[in-house]
Chains A and B, each alone.
Chain A
Amino acid sequence: MIAQLGSGSVAHVSPRAVPVNFHLVSATDDDPTHDVNPRLEADFSWDSSTGKYDDLKGCYVQEYVSFPTTNNDSCPSDPTIKCYFPPSPPWIAKGQPSSAFANPTVSPPPGDPAELGANYDLDFLDNLAFVQPYSVMSFTGTQFYQYQCDNSGSWKKLYGPASINYSMYKDQYGTWSVTISRSDTDKTSYYVIP
């Protein structure tokens, strides 16, 4: 960027560093034995547009996930925000832990410091009290990562959309499982319902 200072003098002004090249580095099924709880970890990384992470100080990265707009109600832990409640049965009964997903789910302010250069997302269900009768059913969250460097409240897209899918299904042997998958990786975490 070149700034005109008047009287013909010109100064070179470095553009503000911003996070770039946000990408998925790896995904891991944190429940490899499929009997603890479904938990899919997605590790992300990004660069600085100047090549120096320290230049990103003052920039923040936030996660923004939106869920369906049906079955929305006040969140149990904070009634001032809206939550999505997946249909129960078969999902967790309303009011129980893991029965609600903040809609939208947004990182708490001010977000993750961008100079970290990396973060990760955990998509999981801690509560396994699925409600019978089980049925083949899924719901999806749409995830974006955004950044801001100017404290303007205006977040710019950095990554996404990526779909986070929570599914319940029955295999050919009649066993019910719950899976968590993402559209940006083949990795899936699944939990076999005992």
Chain B
Amino acid sequence: MLLSCTLTPIHWLLALVQALVLCACAYAQPATIPIQFNITLQKMIVTQHEPVILVLEFGSPSPQSVVVDLGYNSEKLHITVVDPDGVVVNKTNSVEGPGATYSFHIDGESKSSGAVPLTDWFTFDKVGNYEIDVDLGAHSASYERFSYTMVGNRAKLNITVRPRDEAALRQVCDQLLSHAEDLPYDSQEKWVAARALAKVNDPVAVPFMVRALNQRNFARLMIPALARIKTADAIAALESATGSPDKETQSLAHSALASLGRAQR
């Protein structure tokens, strides 16, 4: 039996509609962009009380730009740290409010990098070797504007914390302050440096924190840090900040002094 292959106008019309629907669907589906990650530490040997900074390098073969957002409290970033005594500590959410937002813009067909201070969640106060397990997850989240998959999103890292070296720590604080002061307001590195400086739990950091207070934007980072260190110099800086022309700085300084039992008149 011979089958007829003749296409009628209605067949052509149906085929055309089907093709149009397929094209529309293909256009509407956002392309999933593959991103190659490389996760390292800025330094593998630090001195005690020095911030530990994670470096994320990204590469995208796609011509399209993409933004990777680590999410609320950076919850896409799973980290486990094993300290020199074998104590295992997992990254947890900020206790009383949202943590810092870290997002990274990757231009099409290019590489870029960003940093995240691990001292947002962990302390590295013990001398010795730490193991750090990092997992960024493999996919973009539903709330993100971009759809991507990540390769190289896990890493096992090691860092050695050496006994406190005041000169080295002073140099680190100086570099962090320079970055925090000099980089433009919309530079993420500026804020990484400021956050890292604010987490240096050592009196050496006090003069650098005091200088950072000259920029109003850093008050919410530096004032709690000074209150935590609470040396005579730190308290004097807080007392001075109560006279700041910036209302938020004033208010934070008053609260910080009150928390130290040094209410200002």
Contacts and interface: CB of A to CB of B under 8 A. Distances in A.
Interface stretch (B1-9, B91-99, B149-157, B169-177): B91-99
B101 A80 contact: no
A43 B143 CA distance: 6
B133 to A, nearest CB: 21
B252 interface: yes
A-B complex: 3 closest residue pairs judged by Cβ atoms: A79-B259, A80-B256, A102-B97
B248 A116 contact: no
B54 interface: no
Given A58-B185, A80-B256, A82-B255, A112 B143 contact: no
Given A119-B143, A126-B93, A63 B224 contact: no
Contacts of B186: 57-58, 110, 113
A74 interface: yes
A139 interface: no
A36 interface: no
Interface in A104-131: 105-113, 115-122, 126
Contact of B67 (A25, A77, A79, A116): A116
B264 interface: no
Contact of A97 (B95, B217, B252): B95
Interface size class of B (residues with CB under 8 A): 35 or more
B69 interface: yes
Given A57-B186, A113-B103, A80 B98 contact: no
Given A110-B185, A151-B185, A119 B72 contact: yes
A53 interface: yes
Nearest to B186: A58
A80 B99 contact: no
Contact of A75 (B67, B96, B143, B188): B96
B178 interface: no
B224 A81 contact: yes
B216 interface: yes
Contacts of B93: 126
A102 B98 CA distance: 9
A78 interface: yes
B102 to A, nearest CB: 10
A110 B219 CA distance: 11
Interface residues of A, number: 44
Contact of A108 (B75, B100, B103): B100
B67 A100 contact: no
Given A74-B259, A78-B224, A111 B72 contact: no
Contact of A25 (B95, B143, B194): B143
A68 interface: no
B63 to A, nearest CB: 15
A98 B95 CA distance: 7
A153 interface: yes
Contact of A109 (B73, B191, B224, B255): B191
Nearest to B75: A122
A101 B96 contact: yes
Given A80-B256, A118-B143, A151-B185, A112 B220 contact: no
B211 interface: no
A44 B69 CA distance: 14
A178 interface: no
Pick from A75, A100, A112, A116 the residue with the most CB of B within 10 Å. Answer: A116
A160 interface: no
B185 A105 contact: no
B145 interface: yes
B105 to A, nearest CB: 8
Given A110-B191, A116-B145, A79 B227 contact: yes
A149 B263 CA distance: 35
Contacts of B246: 153
A97 B206 CA distance: 29
Contacts of B97: 65, 101-102, 105-106
B122 interface: no
B218 to A, nearest CB: 7
A76 interface: yes
Given A97-B95, A109-B217, A110-B191, A116 B255 contact: no
Contact of B252 (A80, A98, A116, A119): A80
